[in-house]
Each structure stands twice: as structure tokens, then as C-alpha cells.
A and B are shown apart, each in its own frame.
Chain A
Amino acid sequence: MANIDFAALSGNARLSAVLHRMIELKLADRAELYKAPQFINFGSLNGTGSSALQVPVVGLAGTDLMAAVGDGSSVSNTSITSSAATITIARQALRYDITDLASLTDPLAAGAGVGVEGLANSMAIAFGMRLTQMITALSSGLSQSVGSTTVALTVATFFDAIYKLQLQSNDGEFAAVLAPQQINHLINSLRSETGPGQYVAATQDQIAAKGQGFRGMLFGVSLYTSSTVPTANAGADRLGMMTATGAIGYATGSPAPIQGAGAIILPAGSQVVVELERDAASGLTKVIGNSFAGVAEIQDLKAVGILSKLAP
């Protein structure tokens, strides 16, 4: 008698492959850095009457010092110094179209796979990454920078950035946002360092609190990494940055849900509004995430660019 082997069942009662009940996320940078405390959230522009927010930068509370004045002499009038930074928000969006057949055959639990809910859920992180990309792009517009073209980042250059910020009377905790290759070079340089300075790698708790991109502390500076750090010198270098609190700020806006429109999903803790638009004739669902965001350099001397070579 013939055995009931796999070949006898294959294609009928057995499948050549089955889908696992969980998807593996494609390798990508998912470090949303905009939540780092050094970047100030100036809130939502909803209902403000403008798409631009002017942030006054005023020389009060210690900018002007008292001076000795002779007894009976008249003290001269002092005008305060002020400037302003403007954050202009613009629409940021992402759209996925999925057919009913693709959606109904999703074997995973709702929201976990490539179905309508799964696509809607991914909008929040897509917005976070976009905001991160917008923030890291600002390193290009800083007037101060340290480091040399086509030279690897070293601890000495890292110190240069700290010194530059300290020279301008910056205080509080500094944050450095570096490209992955810059972090590698920095750690390589640290291997030959001696002395009291040390790298304190991020613990699981810190990563949970500060986000995926947090790499630890070095000489009291919070280290973050992001693949969105821009290139410089025609692609020969990367240009990260070190900032004090208040160097960079961002503002957001959320489209108000519209009565009578299709279904709307508001991912928790996010500025994104996800709308589902049906094209019944085509059996198609459009999943559209919309939000508004703007970033700007608030005070130039609170940040310094960190230039180093891109190549390994």
C-alpha cells in the first residue's frame, strides 16, 4: 500500500507555503526624534487665523544688566533687543490604495497586517519620521559648524561642538543628532580615549522614554541617531548637529474631521487624521493620512553643525 506522504497531499490538502501569523517589519529607520526635549513643540495652529507662527525672541531677564550710576545722576533709557523666528506649517500626507480583495484576504488580526487598519495605523509613525526629517534638515542652515570634510568624526570634534555651545552661554542638557556613520566613527574614536569621560549606552528604559533613536549619553550630551541627517559637500560628508534646548522648534496642525465624509481614524497621540475614501465601483479603499507641520531654527547660536565624512 502506498504511504500517505507529503507529495500525495501537496497542492490539495497541503500548501507549499503558508503565511506566518505575524509580519516582520522591513528594515527602516523608525526613530522619531521630534519628541526629544531639546526640540520645542509650539503647539497647533488650528483656529489661530494663520499658517505661520511668529515666535518672539526677546532679550529680557538678564540680557541687559544693571550698571552703576552716580548718585544723583540720571540713568539712561535702554531699549530691549528682540527678534523673531517664524514657523510656517505645510501639508504633509501619505496615501495607500488597497483593493477589497487584497484587504479581505489579509490573514492577520485587524490592524496587524497589510489591511485597511494596518495601513491607517502606520500613518502616525510616517508623520513622526517626516517631522524628524524636517528637523534634521535644519543642520544645513546653521551658521556655526565643527569638523572637517572627508575626516571621520572624533571625540575632539565632538568636544569642539560642546565648547562652541558653551562659549555662547548655552545651558541645560545638549542633544547631538548624528547620522549612523557619524555615531560609528565617534564610538571608534572613543576606543582610544582615556580619562574620566565615558559613553553611557542607552538602557531599555531610556529608549522607552526617549524613543528608538536615543543611543545614550556622552560627556553629558544626549546622543540621537537618524538616517535622515543630510549630506554635505556634494555627498562627501554628513552634517549632523548639536543643540541646546530652544534652538529648534516645530508647530503642527490637524485637519478637522468633516461631517459627512468617509470614515476617519485619529491615531492616539498623533496629529495625523487618517481618512478612508471608498471607490465602490473599483472595489478600492484609499487610506489617506493628512497632517500639517512646520519646523524652524529659533536661535542660531543655540546649535552647531557637526561635519564629518560619509564614507566608512
Chain B
Amino acid sequence: MSATFQTSASGPSIQGRAAERPGSMREQLPTLASPPFWYMHHPARWQLVEGEWLPQLSEMRSDPGVNRVDKDGNTDQAELAYRRKGWTIIPWDVEPGGYCVAFEGHRGPVHMSKWEKPSVFAGQLTIKSDGAGYWAFCRRLLADGIIARPDERFIDLIIADHARKVDDLRGRAVTQPAVATSLNIEEERLAVMLAAKERLVNPAAPKAKK
């Protein structure tokens, strides 16, 4: 039991501290629990972002019962199956502090990437995406060699798909003026895809120092 009598001649000197919410009023995310995950990449999955080809990452979650993850959430067999199919599993520690972050949720831990910023306003959950940070991470994966540079043939397939879409729009634009806007956008996108591929295949030589 704490003393209630005065312990110093100059009077009590008791420091206050910031109040804490009771345990039952903890800030928690109002969403379903989600297990930890690892990013992974398949050599065929690339996407055009801000004029460059970046990897389209997937997630392998430690979710018991999903794609060979065992009853305890062990992903050994799942990893093996993915690697056999050519996927690269990206370890957490390639990003300082790890890229998988856990939040406390109403129904257990909620795992998100560090570039997802959840906030609760008026009881509603909103998640903002830090796109710039995430794309910078994707660029680093390429620069550091964690993901191999894209094979030209996969990029050609993506470009061929898009070229077919542009051809289709071009044909329809003749009879449907409303399609013309989409055609302009997709033609421009095709040009960016081709330019990005050119930079990928023939990177500019570093400038010589004077």
C-alpha cells in the first residue's frame, strides 16, 4: 500500500504521466485477422509503372489450409511448391525493419505491408497506400538483384496483348467516336511500354566523368 503521509519537508513531488486507455478500449483495427505473408515473384509477372517495368509481386500467406500451408501455418511445403514453379520468395529482411507489419485487430493480428497505412475514422477503417514507397521497394529488389531483371520474351508477350487491345480499339473507333478517347490513352500506353522495354534492353551508358 502506498504511503499517504508527507515524506519530505518541502511537500510531495509526484509526477504525472500520460493517461492510458483501459485494455478493453485499446485501438484495434475493425477488420478480420490476417496471417503474416511473404512477397514472392514469378518471372512472367511484370507491370508498367511510371514508365518502367517493375515486378508484380504476389503474397504467400501463412494461412493454414491454403496452398499447402500446414495446420500450424508452416509454409515449408508451400515454398517448395512455389519455387518449383519458378517463383522467388522475398525474405522479410530485404527491407530494413521488415516489410510485413502486424496491427492489433478486433479478431486477432492483422498483417499488412509497411506501405499500407490503416486508420480508423468514425468507426470506419480506411487504408491508404504509400505507392511511392512501395514502387521504390520494387525498384530496389531489381537493383539489388533479389529479383532477376525481366526476360525480354515475357515483356514482349505483355506488349503483344496490349497491341491487340489497341488494334481492337482502332477498328471500333471508326464506327464509335466514343472509343477514340480510350484509343488515345491506350496508344500512348503502348508507346510508353515500348520505350520502357527499349530502356530495359539497351540501358543508357553511364556518362563519362570529365
Contact = CB atoms under 8 A, between A and B. Distances in A.
Interface of A: 51-52, 86-92, 133-134, 137-138, 140-141, 143-146, 148-150, 156, 160, 163, 192, 194, 230-236, 292-297, 300, 307, 310
Contacts of B68: 52, 86-88, 296
Contact of A150 (B56, B64, B131): B131
A91 B71 contact: yes
Interface stretch (B5-13, B19-27, B45-53): B45-53
A300 B169 CA distance: 30
Contacts of A232: 56-59
A134 B49 contact: no
Given A141-B82, A149-B56, 11 more contacts: A51-B70, A86-B77, A88-B68, A89-B71, A92-B64, A149-B49, A160-B161, A163-B161, A232-B57, A234-B115, A234-B130
Interface string B124-160: 0001111101100000000000000000000000000
A192 B183 CA distance: 14
Contacts of A235: 112-113, 115-116, 127-129
A59 B152 CA distance: 30
Interface string B78-117: 0001100111000000000000000000000000110110
Contact of A51 (B42, B71, B85, B165): B71
Contacts of A51: 70-71
B69 A141 contact: no
B197 interface: no
B58 A234 contact: no
A128 to B, nearest CB: 14
Contacts of B115: 234-235
5 contacts: A88-B71, A141-B40, A141-B87, A233-B131, A235-B129
Contact of B65 (A90, A143, A236): A90
Contact of B70 (A88, A230, A236): A88
B168 A234 contact: no
B67 interface: yes
Contact of A89 (B65, B82, B164, B165): B65
B71 A233 contact: no
Given A145-B45, A234-B134, A236-B134, A156 B168 contact: yes
Nearest to B99: A234
Contacts of A231: 116
Given A88-B65, A296-B68, A148 B134 contact: no
The 8 closest A-B pairs by CB, nearest first: A90-B64, A90-B65, A234-B115, A234-B134, A235-B129, A235-B116, A90-B71, A294-B65
Contacts of B128: 235
B176 interface: yes
Contacts of A295: 65-67
Contacts of B161: 146, 160, 163
Nearest to A133: B32
B63 interface: yes
Given A88-B77, A134-B65, A300 B85 contact: yes
A86 B81 contact: yes
B29 interface: no
B176 A194 contact: yes
A295 B68 CA distance: 8
Given A134-B66, A297-B67, A141 B60 contact: yes
A169 B117 CA distance: 42
Interface in B155-179: 161, 164-165, 168-169, 176, 178
A156 B190 CA distance: 15
B124 to A, nearest CB: 12
B56 to A, nearest CB: 7
A310 B86 CA distance: 28
B142 to A, nearest CB: 15
